[in-house]
Amino acid sequence: MSPLFDLTGRTALVTGSSRGIGNALARALADAGATVVLNGVNAERLKAAEAAMAADFASGRIHSCAFDVTSDAEVADAVAWVEDNVGPLEILVNNAGIQHRVAMLDLDVKDWERVISTDLTSAFLVGRAAARFMVPRGRGKIINICSVQTDLARPTIAPYIAAKGGLRNLTRAMTAEWAAAGLQINALAPGYIHTEMTQNLVDDEQFNSWILGRTPAHRWGTPEDLAGPAVWLASSGSDFVNGQTIFVDGGMTVVV
Ligand code: NAP
């Protein structure tokens, strides 16, 4: 492996990595040499994910920490736990996220707030907790997981669109405040990726054929498609890439 992309000896925390895209990103970082801390709220699912991944890597490389990314207190305790028990946190992937589909006229404010809090405020909370350790050390990589909905709207997912658009600008705000200290903060914006979160869309024949027609690559993405870009943004290979949102979407956002 080129030393540019070698993550050996670096500690990474990936939020929402008990399954789906976060789990694939955590595996990609571990494959590149990182020591990885998995996260989720469901402790049982998280332990199962940790055991599954630990079987493929050397002892001591895979850890887990259950906490809710929307809780300021839990986030602060969790990041301190990683620092004390695993190693200095050098890579943070803000991936945890939820979806809620309902027409805006029928949208309850509690559901609006739940999505904004899980998909946007969480990145501020975990990013701030991590940066409080990274900034004094003068190094760190933060990768915020956006979406094509960072740029493109669709009916019935207003809070998700607002959160993912906000996350792109939060990436810029973090860059404005922390880049001078040696941190790189960027975002990855996946296109439509086949995961548990989107299984109902894959099963919907009409939606599925719309996706295939709308995507120049003519397929759904896979979590593995995000591995290369994530390792690059986590590595020394991206040391002068700051505040960018990289779309990994088979070309969806460049065509109409
Ligand atoms: P997923 O399969 O539903 O997995 C979500 C993960 O987030 C789970 O590990 C879940 O943990 C965790 N999580 C949810 N709420 C949490 C909280 N409050 N605190 C801590 N962890 C929490 O989702 P996914 O499809 O992989 O999506 C992951 C990210 O990619 C999201 O930010 C999503 O917006 C983004 N994305 C997805 C797609 C796509 O096509 N799937 C496309 C673009 C962007 P538990 O197991 O404990 O519930």
Q: So what's the pLDDT on residue 70?
A: 98
Express as a percent the part of the chain with pLDDT over 70: 100
Q: How far is the CA of 150 from the centre of ligand 1 (A)?
A: 16
pLDDT tens profile 189-222: 999 999 887 899 999 999 999 999 999 999 999 9
Residue 230 — very low, low, confident or very high, per pLDDT cuts 50/70/90? very high
Q: For residues 114 and 41, is the Cβ–Cβ distance under 8 A? A: no
Mean pLDDT of 12-17: 99
Q: How far is the CA of 56 from the centre of ligand 1 (A)?
A: 23
Q: Is 80 exceeded by the pLDDT of residue 246?
A: yes
Average pLDDT, the chain: 97
For ligand 1, residues with CB inside 6 Å are 15-22, 39-42, 45, 68-70, 95-98, 118, 145, 147, 190, 192-193, 195-198
Q: Is 90 exceeded by the pLDDT of residue 83?
A: yes
pLDDT tens profile 134-152: 999 999 999 999 999 999 9
Q: Which two tokens stand for residue 161?
A: 């669109």
- Residue 192 among the catalytic residues: no
Domains of the chain: 3-248 (3.40.50.720)
133: Cβ–Cβ under 8 A, 6 or more apart, which residues?
Answer: 79, 83, 88, 89, 140
For the CA of 221, the closest atom of ligand 1 is 40
The CA distance from 175 to 24, in Å, is 26
